[in-house]
Amino acid sequence: MPKIAGRDRKAELLDAARDLIFTEGSSRFTIRRLAERVQISEAAVYRHFPSKEELLLRLLEQQFQGWEDGVQKVIATKASPAERLAALARFHLSYLLERQFNPILLLSDATDPGQSSLRNTLQHIASALGLAIRQLVRAGIADRSFGAGLDPDIATATVLGAVQSTVLQWTLNQDAEGMQTKLMRSVTFLIRCFKNPPAAHSTKKNVSRKGSKE
């Protein structure tokens, strides 16, 4: 087998690790399995990554390089908050589909007490997505395109849940067909609810009833 430069070999190992984790799950992923896939020795893998933990951390960093810039580009557009919210959900799912990678698959490894760096990186990604969604929800409330009675925390959680549910379904089925359509239907429905939130609707009814009694 021809020699491969160190940087290229690292990239090859990370790509192979991504494929193995996505198709077989992180619980079955081992350095031995990775070495077999790339057809090199385990010792050769360890020359590039001193531990499985280090490899997984570098994989996560590699896969999400540029993701936050993409999120900020969506937020910075001049579209309405509702349009940007839909675009953000679409961007995140497209990003994962293109890379055939779901960070949730690393969750079991991240819960290991010795995996604080991996856990912190996963938390940072989830937090960044949640903050971006919340920012757009608040923008919608501020410009009155969303109802004044909309709870930003609940709205953020529902959009985040719709995105994560779609990503999980794609990962379990390993079939991307129709996933974008499914997500956009969910987000569009939620945005309609945001424009006339139940809390605001109930408040109007209560005020109306109170006025009629007086």
Of the three residues 58, 73, 102, the one that is the final residue of a domain is 58
Shared domain check, 144 and 84: yes
User: In this structure, is residue 214 part of a structural domain?
Assistant: no
Residue with the two structure tokens 């193995």? 20
User: In this structure, is residue 119 part of a structural domain?
Assistant: yes
For position 53, which CATH number holds? 1.10.10.60
pLDDT tens, 145-185?
A: 999 899 999 999 999 999 999 999 998 888 889 999 999 99
State the DSSP string of 36-97: HHHTS-HHHHHHH-SSHHHHHHHHHHHHTTTHHHHHHHHHHSSS-HHHHHHHHHHHHHHHHH
**Whole-structure pTM value:** 0.84
Shared domain check, 129 and 197: yes
Shared domain check, 75 and 13: no
Residue 8 has pLDDT above 80, yes or no: yes
User: In this structure, is residue 213 part of a structural domain?
Assistant: no
Shared domain check, 164 and 121: yes
pLDDT of residue 173: 86
Of the three residues 58, 75, 97, the one that is the final residue of a domain is 58
Instruction: Report residue 5's pLDDT band, with 50, 70 and 90 as the boundaries.
Output: low
Shared domain check, 70 and 54: no
Shared domain check, 187 and 105: yes
Domain count, the chain: 2
For 42, the domain range is 6-58
